[in-house]
Structure 1
């Protein structure tokens, strides 16, 4: 539409929207209103053309045989295409979501996964007749009518149903429970001075679903902290309104326009994220228990303590779970399977056991910026698939350090050095327990249990890091996936499962076995693993004594398994540390296309390191990564995902739930 003036899509759209808005701001009146109306009409026509444009000719993929388990389609030479419109490295939720989005625009997408199952954190596995999930413990904003639910239904073609943790017959209305094993001297002093005992279940904090219920619970637990809660409510509203504009701003190309729109789209969220949770919470309250109650999600959902995490994520997480938490019927792999079926219907492919050894680049002429032309496979395949776009969801440390060749990408050493300025999160020890008896007979809840040593979260983590084999874990998360999934009893009658996560485990604890093979790591490793396993079982039995005599199977995993199954480099379960330093990097260079001279054209980043850990951030990172490929107006596809313009307008005009919290109190 704008080709006669050689104007890029992003520049054109920005001009259509920005110029009349500035005129109206400087010179309000009928002429400016007329100009706004005309330019909006032009934008509508352009958008209509963009959405109706037939797809260009795309590569034809070789036919593939029908596969009963679409998550396990192994790579075969006869089914491997020679070229694709886009190659996605990694079949986690961000890679799969991106492939679906690009397939909607007529692109043939090839997704390559090094593991033997697609899904990443959505992966489930069976062992000794028990089914376990690995990373999807719950997700917010999936009630019917919520924006994320509409997007997920669109990506999965409406094939996945969800159950809700708060609709639990054992403990209704609650999706999280936080237990403090020890009372710190600081919190005890604060309690004696001006605080009533917390919640209704001993030394614990219950986290109910629903904004009014949660807010009333906080006021009941902390009656002397009305001013602090009012300040936090203000931050909740700010984060709710600023989160999506910040993501849109981050997806924009680097340049003058992005700098101009910083003050409108990015600054409110950046202001919250350039300070730590400790710095902000300390400014509104001295109550250690309240600070722990507000920031506990930073541990299990981000692998960060309050001293280190960017504060903006703390209210963002509470906004995400404010209406409650959901779990998919049939387990989280159903989400991955539904997206893979979509990709295959669109003509794309998802192959497992297909590790990428190198991203292939070429130079148009000496001294030019490298241009991506495809990928080279590893593990003996050594085939090359050509594509003008390659998206890596493997994390910046792996992508810059292992997938880019410094010979063909001169900027590789600088990119790797930049990656090293952003530390990785620590890892975890995972425990999977098979139980005899169903959820009803064992009286198992749907909600998660977070066990913390005491309410000084940073001190507790420091104590664990100092003596990881002796001191209490920084936190332990305990959940029963079989209780969350209403279909589990039908598929596995008379059985239940427990899943535990303990952290954060420094890489140094397991680093000496980095280059050993799975199941061949030696006696010392197995002894250390058994020690952690026994400690975690003790936590399970302490809080759920009814399962002690029902255990029939136990297995565990360490940060080394995270490396093996998820392609990590130091067992980092949650990717990059979400600190203010990462926010600074997002302002300066870290984005879908990093602002680094010599970064290969056609290479795009997505996944954890682009956003944060979790299913919802994976989807939004895919939306950001689609922009360099499809153009800035790719964000208009959200209109279709939400169900049309009426639903989109409703989403824009609806106030976030946090707005009415003070009234509820």
Structure 2
């Protein structure tokens, strides 16, 4: 352990892997430390019987063909060897409200999306075409920002993208109403809301529409061999570039003195000095458990306290002894809700008692037909809780509560999707917020980082990330809780972004 490192990366989740790979690619001596015996965090898979379940991934955003989307460019620049599968559907959304319900499959492609919306909501075409033109402008503006690594010339930004700047602080729901999008079309368009951790009255229109437009124009992609294929590809490139990775190596303490990073202490007492540290562990955990409280700057403490934890998840994995075609399962990614009012849904997701008929499900076989053996298929259900819904659970009632959630979810799925699966369940696995809290070490099993807000969304975070992020010299943070917000794609981009900032810190001696 006498070897000198340019940077230590704590945590081999998606953000940590991307950061370590980028730093190693740039010729820096990197040591990646991971407490588990495998990399990836939530980006992995589990095997039960004859099924290999994808743990968390739905689809990657900002991909596109070679050399187009920012995530594709990042992974190509690192040189990852991954076989990709492009999706040709946007989403399937089911609203079971007795008066305003719908069951709609929306396609990829701007024109196809607008056409499908017009069929479902006659008279919506003009407003949707206008919306898509606005979305194109937003996409161009964010691409322009990315070309300056989110530090653009301010005068040019105000002159060239003034309309973009005006919309950045307007909630998605409000802006869609201003644009005259009919209520039903707006509700269908807002189906992606839980991808961004808050409802459409709280998330920036710019951020929401950028995500939708990116999916429609660049397509969502998934890895042919599941998300762990991406993890292993990144891990291999770290080693190829000369970086080191140590598993079963938990970091106990980050040594901070005088608001300056000095090194880390491992659980076995080993001390590794290093002036540059990138943490894939969220700041709330780092400052609460891994740093001397006297050394946490007041600003950093206030920033953690001002932010709200994002959602935590309850996941149900089912292996079925019949194919998706035999069962009548339609799409790959489906949202099921009892109303299309995202603000109402967000409130209902706070407790187990009110969160009973809100989830999305994915059938991997609809994207990769041979993801399981012929004559079988897999479904993953995700329920997101927007508060600590398991705070009253005890050891005695834990399994009873999990079983109840599973039963209610399957019942509602069969009712809403009109697909019978109960008699075909061969394997069933669950992961509760308690499971996630134990595995990834986040409060409440949080898997979405910090919930976004108009003051704390992607644009405020990225525009202030280099100079006004957490203020300990030599310590930066990457991952789903970072500047780019939650999600696999955003974690990769956050990893690259923080690696670039760290490289600049090293060049400028700060």
Q: Same fold (TM over 0.5)?
A: yes
Preserved CA contact (<8 Å) 1:476 1:501: yes
Aligned residue in 2 for 1:125: 46
| Match runs of 1:163-312 below 5 Å | 163-166=85-88, 174-184=89-99, 187=100, 203-247=102-146, 252=151, 263=158, 269-285=164-180, 287-299=182-194, 301-312=195-206
Whole-angstrom distance in 1 between the partners of 2:399 and 2:92? 32
Whole-angstrom distance in 2 between the partners of 1:208 and 1:604? 39
Q: Any unmatched runs of 5+ in structure 1?
A: 1-79, 167-173, 189-202, 364-369, 514-520, 635-665
3-state SS in 2 of match to 1:296: helix
Change (3 A) 1:545 1:286: closer
Aligned residue in 2 for 1:497: 378
Match of 1:154 among 66, 76, 88: 76
Deviations 1:32-91 (A, max 9, x none): xxxxxxxxxxxxxxxxxxxxxxxxxxxxxxxxxxxxxxxxxxxxxxxx674422111221
Preserved CA contact (<8 Å) 2:287 2:296: no
Aligned residue in 2 for 1:383: 270
1:404 equivalenced with 2:330 (yes/no): no
1:95 equivalenced with 2:21 (yes/no): no
Whole-angstrom distance in 2 between the partners of 1:101 and 1:584? 21
3-state SS in 1 of match to 2:136: helix
Whole-angstrom distance in 1 between the partners of 2:410 and 2:260? 52
Whole-angstrom distance in 1 between the partners of 2:3 and 2:50? 40
3-state SS in 1 of match to 2:158: helix
Whole-angstrom distance in 1 between the partners of 2:326 and 2:166? 50
3-state SS in 1 of match to 2:81: coil
Deviation of 1:223 after TM superposition, in Å, equals 2.8
Match of 1:485 among 340, 350, 368: 368
Change (3 A) 1:221 1:584: closer
Aligned residue in 1 for 2:352: 468
1:322 equivalenced with 2:322 (yes/no): no
Deviation of 1:500 after TM superposition, in Å, equals 0.4
Which fold has the larger relative contact order, with Cα–Cα distance below 8 Å and residues 6 or more apart in sequence? 2
Preserved CA contact (<8 Å) 1:294 1:314: no
Specify the structure having the higher radius of gyration (Cα).
1
3-state SS in 2 of match to 1:552: strand
Change (3 A) 1:373 1:551: same
Whole-angstrom distance in 1 between the partners of 2:105 and 2:94? 9
Aligned residue in 1 for 2:478: 606
3-state SS in 2 of match to 1:553: strand
Deviations 1:75-114 (A, max 9, x none): xxxxx67442211122122211121111111112122223
Preserved CA contact (<8 Å) 1:90 1:112: yes
Preserved CA contact (<8 Å) 2:318 2:378: yes
Bigger helix share = 1
Deviation of 1:437 after TM superposition, in Å, equals 3.7
1:573 equivalenced with 2:447 (yes/no): yes
Match of 1:539 among 412, 425, 442: 412
Match of 1:510 among 383, 390, 395: 390
Preserved CA contact (<8 Å) 1:128 1:553: yes
Preserved CA contact (<8 Å) 1:245 1:266: no
Deviation of 1:399 after TM superposition, in Å, equals 2.8
1:313 equivalenced with 2:194 (yes/no): no
RMSD over aligned CA atoms reads: 3.0
Deviation of 1:374 after TM superposition, in Å, equals 1.7
1:422 equivalenced with 2:317 (yes/no): no
Preserved CA contact (<8 Å) 1:82 1:384: no
Deviations 1:409-459 (A, max 9, x none): 251x43122111111122221111122244555554552111011222212
Change (3 A) 1:625 1:260: farther
Match of 1:525 among 398, 401, 414: 398
Q: Any unmatched runs of 5+ in structure 2?
A: none
| Match runs of 1:320-359 below 5 Å | 320-323=214-217, 324-359=219-254
Deviation of 1:580 after TM superposition, in Å, equals 0.3
| Match runs of 1:62-77 below 5 Å | none
Aligned residue in 1 for 2:317: 432
Aligned residue in 2 for 1:374: 263
